[in-house]
């Protein structure tokens, strides 16, 4: 029997060649409205800095407009790269968002810088020396503010009660692609989202998360999601053609070259000229690329491999209309639209 996971969207706000970052941000709002209408569970915006190909530099800024433009879908960060920030400031920001959009805000947290070393240094407020690697302490402090669980003798304990959105609070998740993130998520009893599109060797790491999980009244059992790179089109041939834009981008990224998302014809010419070996996204990252039946089977297989309750779909194409259509086809393949309409009819009656 096939397992059907919940489906969600991870949006990196890709910038197509010939378009601007502002165009990409408006595309994010457009795609979020579509995902809401189609019945996806949540819509997360990523954090990347200093790149000409992604406009996702400030998820904390995007989440409010996305939530305002939608009605039902959960909205959050995929994620906030905590080493760049003060834990208290993150707590205040996401508390405010939760107060404005009760029951709909997620706070996905990550350790990676989301950029290169020089840009990471530029993001620092104090540049006299590199920031310390104290992510576990940052994470514990942030969770303490949100949960009102800082020890009474903690110097910042009183600040929990000043968060602007109280009593509403975001739903915290830890993001990761390594065993260490699984250990932290498990030991802290957090929801965990694994980036399969970065590291496709994650099922054992997912098992480690479950082994390490410390249950609580709020989180009696582990909750696991997995994010996968997907492109769906009416035919597998067309999906593979659309995927050429990402293939060119990934290949140049491995060479240290950052570019906007190239148009398909340009990418196909590049890949033909560069054809040498098995150097494709499938070589070091998993991609589910094909027609609706193939994509449905691929997503179900990933969910089964991880034992994941939810799959976040990451889709990047040069043409925004093709990206919209990909998410539409996936929703149709899983019956999301019909499920949403049925739920609405039941509520109305």
Helix axes 264-274, 236-254, angle to 10 degrees: 60
Report residue 277 as tokens.
């070996």
Q: Identify the pLDDT of residue 197.
A: 93
Tell whether 167 is covered by a domain.
Answer: yes
Supply the CATH number for residue 245's domain.
3.20.20.30
Are residues 322 and 19 in contact, defined by beta-carbon separation less than 8 angstroms? no
Instruction: Return averaged pLDDT per consecutive 10 residues of the chain, 349 residues in all.
Output: 84 98 98 98 96 96 98 97 94 98 98 79 80 90 96 94 97 97 97 95 96 94 97 98 96 92 97 68 69 98 96 98 98 79 39
Tally of domains within the chain = 1
CA distance 244 to 269: 10
Q: How far is CA 33 from the centre of its chain?
A: 17
Q: Structural domain of residue 109, as residue ranges?
A: 6-348
Tell whether 239 is covered by a domain.
Answer: yes
Residue with structure tokens 């998740």? 173
CA angle 179, 181, 183 (to 5 degrees): 70
Tell whether 117 is covered by a domain.
Answer: yes
Burial of 132 (0-12, 13-18, 19+ CB in 10 A): exposed
CA–CA distances in Å: residue 109 to residues 8, 77, 94, 261 = 17, 7, 12, 26
Query: Which residue, among 107, 112, 111, has the nearest Cα to 191 in the 3D structure?
Result: 107
Q: Identify the pLDDT of residue 342.
A: 38
Residue 241 φ then ψ, to 5°? -65, -45
CA–CA distances in Å: residue 47 to residues 55, 60, 79, 254, 280 = 9, 9, 6, 19, 24
Q: Identify the pLDDT of residue 274.
A: 84
Q: What is the pTM of this model?
A: 0.91
Tell whether 1 is covered by a domain.
Answer: no
The enclosing H or E element of 270 equals helix 264-274
């Amino acid at each position: 029997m096939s397992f059907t996971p919940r489906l969600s969207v991870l949006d990196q706000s890709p910038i197509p060649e010939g378009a601007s970052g502002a165009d990409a941000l408006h595309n994010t709002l457009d795609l979020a409205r579509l995902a809401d209408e189609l019945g996806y569970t949540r819509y997360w915006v990523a954090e990347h800095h200093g790149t000409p190909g992604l406009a996702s530099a400030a998820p904390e800024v995007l989440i409010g407009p996305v939530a305002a433009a939608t009605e039902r879908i959960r909205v959050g960060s995929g994620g906030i790269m905590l080493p760049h920030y003060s834990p208290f400031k993150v707590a205040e920001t996401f508390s405010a968002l939760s107060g404005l959009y009760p029951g709909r805000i997620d706070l996905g947290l990550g350790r990676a810088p989301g950029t290169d070393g020089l840009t990471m240094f530029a993001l620092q407020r104090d540049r006299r020396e590199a920031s310390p690697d104290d992510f576990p302490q940052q994470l514990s402090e942030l969770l303490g503010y949100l949960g009102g669980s800082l020890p009474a003798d903690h110097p910042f304990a009183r600040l929990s009660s000043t968060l602007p959105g109280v009593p509403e609070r975001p739903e915290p998740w830890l993001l990761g692609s390594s065993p260490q993130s699984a250990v932290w998520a498990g030991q802290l009893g957090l929801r965990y989202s694994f980036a399969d599109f970065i590291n496709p060797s994650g099922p054992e790491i997912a098992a480690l998360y479950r082994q390490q999980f410390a249950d609580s009244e709020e989180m009696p059992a582990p909750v696991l999601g997995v994010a996968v790179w997907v492109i769906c089109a009416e035919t597998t041939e067309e999906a593979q053609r659309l995927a050429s834009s990402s293939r060119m981008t990934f290949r140049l990224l491995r060479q240290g070259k950052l570019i906007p998302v190239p148009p398909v014809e340009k990418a196909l010419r590049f890949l033909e000229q560069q054809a040498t070996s098995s150097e494709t996204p499938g070589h070091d990252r998993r991609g589910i690329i094909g027609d609706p039946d193939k994509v449905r089977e691929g997503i179900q297989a990933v969910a089964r491999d991880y034992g994941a309750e939810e799959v976040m779909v990451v889709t990047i194409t040069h043409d925004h209309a093709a990206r919209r259509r990909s998410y539409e086809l996936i929703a149709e393949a899983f019956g999301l639209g019909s499920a949403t309409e049925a739920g609405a009819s039941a509520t109305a009656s």
